[in-house]
Amino acid sequence: MSLRIVVCVKYVPDATGDRSFADDLTVDRDDVDGLLSELDEYAVEQALQIADEADDAEITVLTVGPEDAKDALRKALSMGADKAIHVEDDDLHGTDVIGTSLVLAKAIERAGYDLVITGMASTDGAMGVLPAVLAERLGVPQVTLLSEVKVEDGTVTGRRDGDTASERLEASLPAVVSVTDQSGEARYPSFKGIMAAKKKPVEALDLSDLGIEADEVGLAGARTVVVSAAERPARTAGTIVKDEGEGGKQLAEFLAGQKFI
């Protein structure tokens, strides 16, 4: 029987660019280039490896995001995913994590799935909680923050390295899995992969396709309100000295002046 894998990927503003907020305090997506969140490449990679091990598997990549978010889907398709779903709707502007999880859950249920794989955190919102919320919505086990993952005979197992302990986890499918950047280097798309991706299907859905009302998502439905957003004042220029034999001592003097010694 075929293993249906859905990988959630987010399109995010490039972290090496000047990310900022628009006037309505949502993320400014116009003035900075976007890309597939780097941490989601690890999710795509693990999906590809799990699919390789399975007799028969199909990988769908799913994103909720603006028009340009197709770029993120193309990247995932060029890595080797089979098809893509793009949920786009003007009413999605300003959606919080609860709303995002609603849209993803509806799209995943519509597509059909045995396994959902996500990244550990996005590189913009970086909350790192979407996979847990998704599991709660779908009513399936969460097997999250795995640095090692294996799927066999309808069971997912993995290793989760926490603050105080490293745990081995196990759950039956269907399940939501998230993987860390320790799970294994993500492959680069090959030229062949990039060419093939152009022909792979990208299904476009909007809120009505998913039976979601406009006020359940977007700024209207958000359960949180951003009150203010301000650029952090640049740090005042520090003292920089060149080591000419006394650099360590000078640094000690500074630390003593600051009462650290």
Ligand X SMILES: Cc1cc2nc3c(=O)[nH]c(=O)nc-3n(C[C@H](O)[C@H](O)[C@@H](O)COP(=O)(O)OP(=O)(O)OC[C@H]3O[C@@H](n4cnc5c(N)ncnc54)[C@H](O)[C@@H]3O)c2cc1C
Q: Considering only residues 47 through 106, tell me which ones interact with other proteins, judged by CB under 8 A.
A: 96-98, 101
Rounded to the nearest whole angstrom, what is the least distance from the CB of residue 34 to other proteins in the complex? Answer: 14
Backbone phi, psi, residue 23, to 5°: -60, -30
**Does residue 19 belong to the site contacting other proteins (CB under 8 A)?**
yes
**Does residue 121 belong to the site contacting other proteins (CB under 8 A)?**
yes
**Does residue 122 belong to the site contacting other proteins (CB under 8 A)?**
no
- What is the binding site for ligand X (CB under 6 A)? 8-10, 27, 37-40, 43, 62-65, 95-98, 100, 104, 118-119, 121-122, 124-131, 181, 224
For residue 232 the two structure tokens come to 């952090």
**Does residue 254 belong to the site contacting other proteins (CB under 8 A)?**
yes
CB 179 within 8 A of CB 40: no
What order of strands is seen across the sheet that includes strand 83-87?
A: 155-161, 142-152, 175-179, 115-119, 3-8, 57-64, 83-87, 202-205
User: Cα(114)–Cα(54) distance, rounded to whole angstroms?
Assistant: 12
Q: Which helix (H) or strand (E) holds 150?
A: strand 142-152
**What DSSP string runs through 33-49?**
-EEE-HHHHHHHHHHHH
Identified binder of other proteins from the candidate list 163, 192, 198, 211, rule CB under 8 A: 163
Stretch that binds other proteins, among 48-56, 60-68, 137-145, 199-207 (CB under 8 A): 137-145
Helical axes 70-79 vs 38-53, angle rounded to 10° = 40
Q: Considering only residues 29 through 48, tell me which ones interact with other proteins, judged by CB under 8 A.
A: 39
Pick the closer one to other proteins by CB: 80 or 221.
221
**Does residue 161 belong to the site contacting other proteins (CB under 8 A)?**
yes
Decide which of ligand X, other proteins, none touches 49; Cβ closer than 5 to 8 Å per partner kind: none
Pick the closer one to other proteins by CB: 78 or 118.
118
CB 119 within 8 A of CB 10: yes
Backbone phi, psi, residue 83, to 5°: -150, 175
Stretch that binds other proteins, among 59-67, 108-116, 210-218, 245-253 (CB under 8 A): 245-253
> What SS3 class is residue 249?
helix
Identified binder of other proteins from the candidate list 15, 112, 154, 208, rule CB under 8 A: 15
Q: Considering only residues 178 through 207, tell me which ones interact with other proteins, judged by CB under 8 A.
A: 180-182
Looking at beta carbons, which residue is closest to ligand X? 125
